[in-house]
Structure 1
Amino acid sequence: MLGETHDILHEFPDLEGTIRKLRQEDTEFAGLMEKHDSLDDEIRNLEELNQPIDDLKMEELKKTRALLKDQIYQYLRDNK
């Protein structure tokens, strides 16, 4: 859906404390979060501003975002 929120705090609200702590204290986790947030912003802007982009390219961006979300979730589970 266009403009849908995919930020990590909305995806995993029960892990907010762990997310905030790791983002401040763990550079690897902070890097994953930055990549995810940046990509999510890019996708949302493309969708909302109706920017011309190839459908295949958009699907690749969304798959990459999903992969990052999976990596972040695994990181969170491992560091709870």
Structure 2
Amino acid sequence: MITKHPIYLDFPEYADKIKNLYHNNDEFQVLLHSYTDLDEKIYKIETDEELAMDDELSQLRKNRVFLKDEIVNFLKDS
């Protein structure tokens, strides 16, 4: 199934922390925006709203995983 991957759904245990950091930490806000924008781009490609080569989509997915890891590390360290 093709779906978006919002952070707050992937990590519900951090929902309050995500909200707090988003409103109070500029670095986290940039990181979350980057992740959300990338997730949206991947979704559009997967639903054929935008075109991309398979290798490009694969790289975008890897970048999303990297950003997700960065966000989780940020949440754990805060």
Band the TM-score falls in, shorter-chain normalisation:
over 0.9
Matches within 5 A, 1:26-45: 26-45=25-44
Tell me how far 1:46 sits from its aligned partner: 1.1
Which moves more between the two structures, 45-54 or 63-72? 45-54
Q: Where in structure 1 do 4 or more consecutive aligned residues deviate above 3 Å? A: none
Tell me how far 1:8 sits from its aligned partner: 0.3
2:4 aligned with 1:9, yes or no?
A: no
- The answer to whether the Cα contact below 8 Å between 2:4 and 2:40 also exists between their aligned partners in 1 is no
Give the distance between the partners of 1:36 and 1:52, measured in 2 at CA.
20
* Matched residue, 1:22: 21
Q: Percent identity?
A: 31
- The answer to whether the Cα contact below 8 Å between 2:31 and 2:71 also exists between their aligned partners in 1 is yes
5+ long unaligned stretches in structure 2: none
Question: Could you report, residue by residue, the CA deviation over 1:15-60 in whole angstroms, capped at 9, with x for unpaired residues?
Answer: 1000000000000000000000000001001111253311100000
Matches within 5 A, 1:42-53: 42-49=41-48, 51-53=50-52
TM-score (norm 2): 0.93
Q: CA RMSD in A?
A: 1.1
5+ long unaligned stretches in structure 1: none
Aligned residues: 78
